[in-house]
Structure 1
Amino acid sequence: MADVVFPSDYSQARGDFLRAAEAAGARRRTYALPGHRGPDGGELCVDTAYVGPPDPEKLLVTVSGTHGIEGFCGSACQTGILLREGVAREAGPRTGVLLVHALNPYGFAYLRRVNEDNVDLNRNFVDHGAPPHNDAYDAVHATLVPPGSPAFSPHELVADLTVLRERLGPQTLQEAVTRGQYRHADGLFYGGLRPTWSRRVFQAVVAEQIAGAAHVAYIDLHTGLGERGVGEPIFRGGRDAHAHERARRWYGDALTASELGTSSSTPIVGNTATAVADGLGPGSRLTAITLEFGTQPGPEVLLALCADAWLHRHSSPAEAVGSELKQLIRAAFCPADDATWRERVSRRAREVFGQALAGLADAKPGDAG
């Protein structure tokens, strides 16, 4: 089994994915982001690749790059394991595998977690006519994104964040910051004022390539939370009464749930699994997880996010992507020089993909599982 290759940039990731998809005989579609180009002048695209029968009864869907820079890990797993190792071709009869690559291509290319408008795509799938405002974020915004700071001072920011953490407590601070907020366009975890381009593309993918399946196993690939190198399956839904029980049977005791307080992730609103649940036909079943790979302790990840927000307030995208400050966010979401981390990620992704396909294979039409 060959080592999984982690790309060095978005262009390599996309090229590797498309070549592997062609070699696997996958059916491909491309959605180009209008009005933007990558740092190298190339197109920024969401690409999909499908392997399996024309009208699958069961479908494994994996998504990479919902949070842009986290796509380095997700893309490597999709390309190296599902396509090059042939795991996608090992799905059972009447089962297909759909790979959605670089759902936030701008963030991937410019080494950002957010999109071209500073929107966190995984907080964007809400009713923007009545967004779920997060009042707790208002009280911490000025510390996270200090107004008018002419220079970035990591030591000063660490001190301010430490005071905030000691005053509120780590859990309360994490909940305030990460839940999602809709008032501060320059802030962290901003859900936006309207559906983003990536959201509209994903909803089209759901309608055109997912909605016909009777049972969907959904895995959104992420990094940045939890113990380093550990792949945590976080329950993200399924609206039938047996969804959580079914996910527990598939993924075992490792399965966590934000709403139950067992996850490294606090409860969030507006994630991509919402679009899948909304788009499935009557009677269809969804078993959705986020597969989250830990990288650094939470305070270091938050520092990297604050540094990146400051950088993009004070620099053009072209200047920012070449800044030394980008080393912080790269280390927080895809360690570039840690072979052990990458090997652990690859091994765990292989295992979870296998669990999802086994779960689909065991599920019978009309049953609870």
Structure 2
Amino acid sequence: MAATFPLDYSRARSGFLGAAEEAGARLRTFTLPGHRGPDGGELCVDTAYLGPPDPVELLVTVSGTHGIEGFAGSACQTGILLREGVARAAAGPTTGVLLVHALNPYGFAYLRRVNEDNVDVNRNFVDHDAPPHNNAYDAVHGTLVGAADDAELMAALTELRGKLGPERLQEAVTRGQYRHPDGLFYGGDAPAWSRQVFRTVVAEQITGAADIGYIDLHTGLGERGVGEPIFRGGPDADAHQRARRWYGDALTASEHGTSSSTPIVGNTATAVADGLGADGRLTAITLEFGTQPGPAVLLALCADTGLHRRSPPAEAVRSDRKRLIRDAFCPTDDARWCEQVLDRAREVFDQARVGLAAGERG
């Protein structure tokens, strides 16, 4: 089962494009300017669409918003939606399926969660003229990036966790911050290239559909191997209850305190909501697959940030220290984890397909 998961970004992209062509999908490519992958290849966001020209219902999946998390997302899109024919089965006379592959191709290729400018793409969809500052992060930034070695970092993080408690520390770090370009979960000071690409995708390939089921594929939070559907919105009053009808009692919500994720700002679902037509409905989730306990994931993020502060990208990506972040976000050498991810994604994709087919419009 682990062999279904790509070994690197280049092979992930090649597999996705090949499967999309075999499925008869319509392809579109956006190439990141000014950057190449570790192998010298282009870095691209690719979209694949199956269905009618103007769908009424639209199922959208996104992989690689957080670069390195694209290993799991790409495997789900390529293996389940394309090679298993789930996307073709879901598409119909009024229903389309859109796959956005590797929204952050730089992070995917260089084994980073962030993009080419250390920006967290899933915190970048905000008004940068008035960003939602995170004062709690200011107090922990120096600890997260200032350690001289792993032992010092582990001790500092343990002290922080004891002082603030796990939940307060998680919220301070992960909510998103806009004052420290060299820090963690930095949302940027302007729209990132990936955000601009996604806005184009929304405007030209999503807007106009009446009912949108949106799934952003992620890893790193929650119980290992469990796929948690986290509610990410929809502007109509029934959006949360509709999502619960689709995904059942497994649905969680950060704002309700039921999720492994604390509340965040500036995520990709914001762009889809902003692009809805007057009568459009959005049912958006993050599908989050757990990997390691929170302290181990935070340690990996801090260590990787330090690695890239000290080393050029081509050197950092080949460092043995990349094992920490790979284990935290893409433990693809664990066949059981890979199997759990694919099985759960298959289930959730089917729930979204059934929910879209049900309509529910009065």
Q: Do the structures match in fold with TM over 0.5?
A: yes
Paired with 1:88 and 1:4, the residues of 2 have a C-alpha distance of 21
1:139 partner SS? helix
Cα deviation 1:35-61 (Å, max 9, x = unaligned):
000000000000000011111100000
Paired with 1:126 and 1:313, the residues of 2 have a C-alpha distance of 26
**Equivalent in the alignment of 2:336:** 340
Residues 1:227 and 2:223 are matched in the alignment: yes
**Equivalent in the alignment of 1:21:** 20
Map of 1:1-369 to 2, 5 A cutoff? Answer: 5-91=4-90, 92-146=92-146, 151=148, 153-364=149-360, 366-367=361-362
Q: What code does the residue aligned with 2:156 have? A: D
Q: What code does the residue aligned with 1:144 have? A: L
Confirm or deny: 8 A CA contact 2:2 2:332 kept in the other structure.
Answer: no
Q: What code does the residue aligned with 1:162 have? A: T
Give how far 1:93 is off.
3.6
Confirm or deny: 8 A CA contact 1:4 1:77 kept in the other structure.
Answer: no
Paired with 1:212 and 1:285, the residues of 2 have a C-alpha distance of 10
Confirm or deny: 8 A CA contact 2:8 2:109 kept in the other structure.
Answer: yes
Cα deviation 1:214-268 (Å, max 9, x = unaligned):
0000000000000000000000000000000000000000000000000000000
Paired with 1:155 and 1:310, the residues of 2 have a C-alpha distance of 13
Give how far 1:336 is off.
2.7
2:28 partner SS? strand
Q: What code does the residue aligned with 1:189 have? A: F
Paired with 2:309 and 2:353, the residues of 1 have a C-alpha distance of 43
Cα deviation 1:59-84 (Å, max 9, x = unaligned):
00000000000000000000000000
Quickly say closer, same or farther: Cα 1:3–1:118, change in 2 above 3 A. Answer: closer
Cα deviation 1:91-131 (Å, max 9, x = unaligned):
14411100000000000000000000000000000000000
Paired residues in the alignment total 361
| Large movers: runs of 4+ above 4 Å | none
Paired with 1:28 and 1:164, the residues of 2 have a C-alpha distance of 47
Confirm or deny: 8 A CA contact 1:4 1:76 kept in the other structure.
Answer: no
Confirm or deny: 8 A CA contact 1:4 1:81 kept in the other structure.
Answer: no
Cα deviation 1:155-202 (Å, max 9, x = unaligned):
221111001000000000000000000000000000000000000000
Q: What code does the residue aligned with 1:19 have? A: G
Confirm or deny: 8 A CA contact 2:37 2:106 kept in the other structure.
Answer: yes
* Runs of 5+ consecutive residues of structure 1 not aligned to the other structure: none
Paired with 1:341 and 1:332, the residues of 2 have a C-alpha distance of 12
1:140 partner SS? helix
Paired with 2:172 and 2:295, the residues of 1 have a C-alpha distance of 14
Q: What code does the residue aligned with 2:192 have? A: T
Paired with 1:125 and 1:336, the residues of 2 have a C-alpha distance of 30
Confirm or deny: 8 A CA contact 1:66 1:104 kept in the other structure.
Answer: yes
1:356 partner SS? helix
Paired with 1:21 and 1:212, the residues of 2 have a C-alpha distance of 23
1:182 partner SS? coil
Superposition CA RMSD, Å: 1.0
Paired with 2:206 and 2:230, the residues of 1 have a C-alpha distance of 21
Give how far 1:272 is off.
0.1
Q: What code does the residue aligned with 1:13 have? A: A
Give how far 1:3 is off.
7.6
Give how far 1:154 is off.
1.4
Paired with 1:267 and 1:4, the residues of 2 have a C-alpha distance of 34
Paired with 1:238 and 1:93, the residues of 2 have a C-alpha distance of 25
1:241 partner SS? coil
Confirm or deny: 8 A CA contact 1:178 1:189 kept in the other structure.
Answer: yes
Paired with 2:266 and 2:2, the residues of 1 have a C-alpha distance of 35
**TM-score (normalizing by structure 1):** 0.97
Q: What code does the residue aligned with 1:143 have? A: T
**TM-score (normalizing by structure 2):** 0.98
Paired with 2:69 and 2:332, the residues of 1 have a C-alpha distance of 12
* Runs of 5+ consecutive residues of structure 2 not aligned to the other structure: none
Paired with 1:189 and 1:333, the residues of 2 have a C-alpha distance of 15
Q: What code does the residue aligned with 2:339 have? A: E
Give how far 1:87 is off.
0.2
2:34 partner SS? coil
% identical equivalent positions: 79
